[in-house]
Amino acid sequence: MTPSGRVGRRNPRAQDAAGPAPYKALRAAGTQTGAAGTTPHLRPHGDRRPGRDCASGGPAPSLTQEEIAAGSTRRPLPAGRRTRSQTPSPGPLRERRRAQARSARAATGEAQRGSAPLPRAPARKAASRDPPRPRPATSARWSRDPPLRVPGHDPGVSVGCRGARARRFSSSARCSARESLRVPQLTGKLRHGAGLQELSGSSPTMGVRHPPCSRRLLAVCALVSLATAALLGHILLHDFLLVPRELSGSSSVLEETRPAHQQRARRPGPQDAQAHPGCPRAVPTQCDVPPNSRFDCAPDKAITQEQCEARGCCYIPAKQGLRRAQMGQPWCFFPPSYPSYKLENLSASEMGYTATLTRTTPTFFPKDILTLRLDVMMETENRLHFTIKDPANRRYEVPLETPRVPSRALSPLYSVEFSEEPFGVVVRRQLDGRVLLNTTVAPLFFADQFLQLSTSLPSQYITGLAEHLSPLMLSTSWTRITLWNRDLAPTPGANLYGSHPFYLALEDGGSAHGVFLLNSNAMDVVLQPSPALSWRSTGGILDVYIFLGPEPKSVVQQYLDVVGYPFMPPYWGLGFHLCRWGYSSTAITRQVVENMTRAHFPLDVQWNDLDYMDSRRDFTFNKDGFRDFPAMVQELHRGGRRYVMIVDPAISSSGPAGSYRPYDEGLRRGVFITNETGQPLIGKVWPGSTAFPDFTNPAALAWWEDMVAEFHDQVPFDGMWIDMNEPSNFIRGSEDGCPNNELERPPYVPGVVGGTLQAATICASSHQFLSTHYNLHNLYGLTEAIASHRALVKARGTRPFVISRSTFAGHGRYAGHWTGDVWSSWEQLAASVPEILQFNLLGVPLVGADVCGFLGNTSEELCVRWTQLGAFYPFMRNHNGLLNLPQEPYSFSELAQQAMRKALTLRYALLPHLYTLFHQAHVAGETVARPLFLEFPKDSSTWTVDHQLLWGEALLITPVLQAGKAEVTGYFPSGTWYDLETVPIEALGSLPPPPAAPREPAIHSEGQWVTLPAPLDTINVHLRAGYIIPLQGPGLTTTESRQQPMALAVALTKGGEARGELFWDDGESLEALERGAYTQVIFLARSNTIMNELVHVTSEGAGLQLQKVTVLGVATAPQQVVSNGAPVSNFTYSPDTKVLDIPVSLLMGEQFLISWS
């Protein structure tokens, strides 16, 4: 067992022998070794080992997938590699020239004086296997020497030629005229220190013999020529660098680029600088990498220049002053010649390709794994999957069930190219040749506790990599994003509650792709301005998925194909939730519910925090303030409401034996995480000393189910709020501390708050069923969510409702999420919008922030604006802290109450539409709340909009997020957008209608920013032309509102068309869709006619009454309206708003036709 816990994975379809079969979400550690596997490999096409040519110093060229499959021996065009000459360790100029003179004499004997070309040098072995060491820097920019001829290179081709990598871009074995920097060849002797170096060559202009010169004159002439060449070479190299064309298309030719200080992005590629047998060592490594394209060679610690150069890296302090370097720009960075892995034995396989990666030179991280296995799997037309792992030892792999594909895709939307030495993978979009992934930009690292994979990015517009307090589009200005789940109030730049190693990148023209690294170890993701991205993980394997899109919403769906589609929540879970830490008795809790009812505020779910527990222990309730706890919950049920309680994972261990059943029973079954002695690891949380269940253990799943069921028998709760599940620990590690080992003090520690992996959590080296906590920490919240989901299904027999604080990829399949302990501030109100959007992109649509804030006192205006925005969170809960002022809606002035009531009434009217959106997310991987760019990717103005949100395709919400504002500016993509306030909805339900204010009925946008009036009682919501949404009369609970009549809001395009959908079931039964117990209706409008199409109708929804149809965008007043052949006499039409209101009496589950003329 290595420090990273080398544990393989078991077939996810097989039943777990150690536990119950239904536990499909987690695969136990198992048998796959990562060696040859079962995929048959085809015979390699000849000797594919990379060779070098002495004239160019370059490696063998790369192979495309087509040539591999066809057995071609042609040297194809690779991509993504800046060309560099073969270079030895740089040193002072004088010493280098001495070495070259000695090399020339050793290779050719006593060189002939004159103009005849030198013979080729015989092969010799590399002098050293150490990484190349740059010469010391004397200034911020490295000086350049003129190209010197070296024996073994063809006449007319200078060592300054980028031949070492030119063969990657040309099938020629020599540098082309464009690839080389030619300088006049020198004849004669150049005095170099105490000795003489022979320089000989021929030139196209030197075809005749010249009279002999004196040695002194010859030396002077040579020195002048060399100085001229040096100056010219420096100018050429500095201002007209030859680099590969930017990998944005299919071309891979070389071209002149702008000077380094004018370039936006150059991607230098590392190269093996070891002298190859048969080739002499070339000129020194050059370190003139543009600052934005430098990849950090000191990610583990701050080091000096001497230490940096000892690693074989370049050291250039960032410039200060007017062009002050951005924070994070590395001073110590990899040179283009830094050694990496070499690709060998590349061959076709049943799923794609397989190869061996070898490294001869260890890195500066301990326990390098020098031989790796690469498997490339072309799983679907739009999904590529590759893994890099140790073929000799089993290593930990994330135990999540992922799809298995029997054969490779026949017509993929991507191409794959490989660079042989140094190894790299380039993935292009077939349609336009754009490079989506290019790992040749920096060396690959694969040590036992440090893995690094870097790639270029096609643009600076990248989102994902949650959970962090950040804008929707992440900054590529040297941003480090740390993924290591932690209990911490949302703070900029800090690792927070969840880890989602997935990003979505937008490309020019509106296309998009996504990349998912299936790795749960602590990691950093570094974004830099070139733009590029580096994954740095502390363990596991490299398990990479690339999603081709090309639409952004397709990228999300393809990602969810891998991690799982969201669960379908119960209908009541979409209502309004109310909670506070401080409802210290059933009497206070009852009073809160009564006050909400008296003030006519909807309330579906009442919650309690820790207050209900006995000594803050799970599965108990105190017999003082909550002695009639079960009766209170039953009262809520009789009123059509539900109840949710908090449950922490940590189990009290401080009581005497036999005094607390959950701990006693857990101890007996062996369900707790253990320390190095095999005893339960003991930390401290709310009840004091606590043990932590290991939810990867099948025995713990059964134990958790039993504890939930037993408590449910006492208190019939409806949902679970699982908190503190990062897991949080009030002490570092455990009561006994943590061992002093590699897992607790790894060679690389990501940028975690607290500086160690044990900060605010348990020891990394503690033991769990599948592996060490070092590997499984980021999965803790997910595994508890899976256990709680299952436990609720067993205890209640209905659709589960679980809200969790900690999350990982695939969390939305089992539970929702709230964004943690947010501050009551305008800044965190605004920050909640991009976080809600982010989690929807990650497949967790049931998400929301604490309305009005949790930490600190709110204000009336802030709470009103937060309630208005919260009405459009997919999950809406007002939650308050222990010592704060009250913030229930009824606690404020009448004016504020009216504004909050209006927002809640609107939410309840829209619940049928919201429920339909959740159905689409559940069955098709759609988002519920979505950013504007997801619907309008070709409009680049939408890409950075993160203070507005869409509900599905149809509703655009523009909230007020600043104090003291009575208007708000939002972006409206091209089209017509109707003000939803023109649709009368309150008359359908039981709540009093608020006063209406005059508004602009529609916005006809060409893609523009619009300033809207937004008084305190208003949140701007607009319905997009071309869509129909179902509405329902609001009530004080969803139990009440589901009995109200329904309406349709029809937003016509200029052509008079629109479309919509309704999904309806009983709202809580398990597998309603699978059993066919639902109703699904499509609504269509065209040619002054509205009709429905019955997709599926059962008793659930068949009796829904349609009472009103409101048509927006009717250009002229109709003379008559007909419903199912009968004239409608009491319709109304407003010539000012262009709105037609049609009262009807129809059933949703029966076909109808409404027309006007």
763 token code pair: 């020891």
DSSP 486-529: ------TTS--SEE--EEEEE-TTS-EEEEEE---S-EEEEEET
Cis amide leading into 531 (omega within 30) = yes
Output the CA–CA distances (angstroms, integers) from residue 356 to 33, 451, 474, in the order listed: 15, 17, 35
Sign of CA dihedral 197, 198, 201, 207: positive
Sheet harboring 876-880: ordered strands across? 847-848, 816-818, 802-804, 719-722, 642-647, 605-608, 576-580, 876-880, 850-851
Spatial contact of 617 and 660, defined as CB atoms under 8 Å apart: yes
Cα four-point dihedral sign 1044, 1045, 1050, 1051: negative
| Residue 407 near residue 47, CB atoms below 8 Å | no
CA–CA separation, 603 vs 877, rounded Å? 10
Give me the phi and psi of 811, to 5 degrees please: -60, -40
The pairing of beta strand 435-438 with beta strand 424-429: antiparallel
Tokens of 94: 């004088």
Exposure on the CB side of residue 929, measured as CA atoms within 13 A: 28
Q: What pairs with residue 1003 in β-bridges?
A: 977
CA distances from 616 to 146, 671, 687, 787 (A): 75, 21, 5, 21
DSSP string, 845-902: -SEE-EET-SBS---HHHHHHHHHHHTTSSSEEEEE-TTSPP-SGGGS-HHHHHHHHH
Query: How many angstroms separate the CA atoms of 793 and 814, rounded?
Result: 11
Q: Which residue from 1013, 1011, 1050, 1008 is spatially nearest to 1029, judged by alpha carbons? A: 1050
Please count the other Cβ atoms lying within 10 Å of the Cβ belonging to residue 38. Answer: 6
Identify the bridge partners of residue 380 per DSSP, sorted by sequence position: 383
Strands (E) across 381-475 are located at 383-389, 414-419, 424-429, 435-438, 445-447, 450-456, 462-464
Catalytic-labelled residue, pool 417, 507, 718, 723: 723
Asked if residue 1012 lies in contact with residue 969, where contact means CB atoms within 8 angstroms, the answer is yes
**Of 145, 604, 718, 726, which is the active-site residue?**
726
For 291, list phi and psi in degrees, rounded to 5.
-55, -40
684 in Cβ contact with 690 (< 8 Å): yes
From 1024, 1049, 1047, 1042, select the one nearest 1111 (Cα to Cα): 1049
Token digits for 412?
A: 């993929």
How far apart, in whole angstroms, are the C-alpha atoms of residue 169 and residue 856? 61
Question: CA-CA distances (angstroms) from residue 762 to 6, 243, 466?
Answer: 21, 49, 22
368 part of the active site? no
Residue 272 appears among annotated catalytic residues: no
Token pair in block for residue 1127:
């004239």
Q: Please name the amino acid found at residue 433.
A: G
Residue 544: HSE in the Cβ half-sphere, 13 Å Cα cutoff: 25
Q: Point out the residues that are catalytic.
A: 723, 726
